[in-house]
Chains A and B, each alone.
Chain A
Amino acid sequence: NAGVTQTPKFQVLKTGQSMTLQCAQDMNHEYMSWYRQDPGMGLRLIHYSVGAGITDQGEVPNGYNVSRSTTEDFPLRLLSAAPSQTSVYFCASSWMYEQFFGPGTRLTVL
């Protein structure tokens, strides 16, 4: 099992550019989520999904879109990048009480 994979590991964008952060899991988990971690802070929930075709907003959803067409994949789209979106992004899938986190994507918006 690869667990939760995220690509890319690092990304630099210019203000106004769009991009998609990829997330995939091979554990057949229904629940997946995206978090962002800013320096010196805990993770904050951006969007989550309880199964294919079902998504909902978390604490900080503005500027991000998600879709869930399959159980395995949960991409996060930045519509028009802003410097405030500079952060480390973690994707996670969960089963019972354990959340399995991906390695993270470090995004810098100039």
Chain B
Amino acid sequence: AQKITQTQPGMFVQEKEAVTLDCTYDTSDPSYGLFWYKQPSSGEMIFLIYQGSYDQQNATEGRYSLNFQKARKSANLVISASQLGDSAMYFCASSRKANAGGTSYGKLTFGQGTILTVHP
């Protein structure tokens, strides 16, 4: 079984500053993926970034980067140059491959989320 812990119920950041959202995970699977999703007040789930457990480099997608520390089992999301539109709920999630030898991930396990508020 996989477990995700997000210890920050809420975070505040000033516009244009960087912010780090914490995520720790627990899994016994040797191969897994780590994910971050954004959920704005409108309710949809928006995929932000992915990190594979065997990836040597930290993942980056535009202003988003994932600080992956495998030994510490942490997968923190860093948002650079925060914008007002970044205000939302952010979920960290993990998954193992959907089936042996497959390429797709399924069975996401989510953390409880962090509400990010960006102040002007």
Main SS of the interface on chain A?
strand
Shortest Cβ distance from residue B118 to the other chain A in the assembled complex, whole angstroms: 20
Which residues from chain B sit less than 8 Å from chain A, CB to CB? 4, 33, 35, 43-45, 47, 50, 52, 91, 93, 98-99, 103-113
Which residues from chain A sit less than 8 Å from chain B, CB to CB? 29-31, 33, 35, 40-45, 48, 50, 58-59, 88, 90, 92, 94-101, 103-104
Shortest Cβ distance from residue B101 to the other chain A in the assembled complex, whole angstroms: 12
- Are A94 and B52 in touch, CB under 8 angstroms? no
**In the assembled complex, which residues on chain B have CB atoms less than 8 Å from the CB atom of A48?**
106-107
The residue of chain B having its C-beta at the shortest distance from the C-beta of A43 within the complex is B110
Interface core residue of B103, B106, B111 (most chain A CB under 10 Å): B106
Interface core residue of A41, A95, A97 (most chain B CB under 10 Å): A97
**In the assembled complex, which residues on chain B have CB atoms less than 8 Å from the CB atom of A92?**
45
Quick one: given A31-B98, A40-B112, A44-B110, are A99 and B91 in contact (CB under 8 Å)?
Answer: no
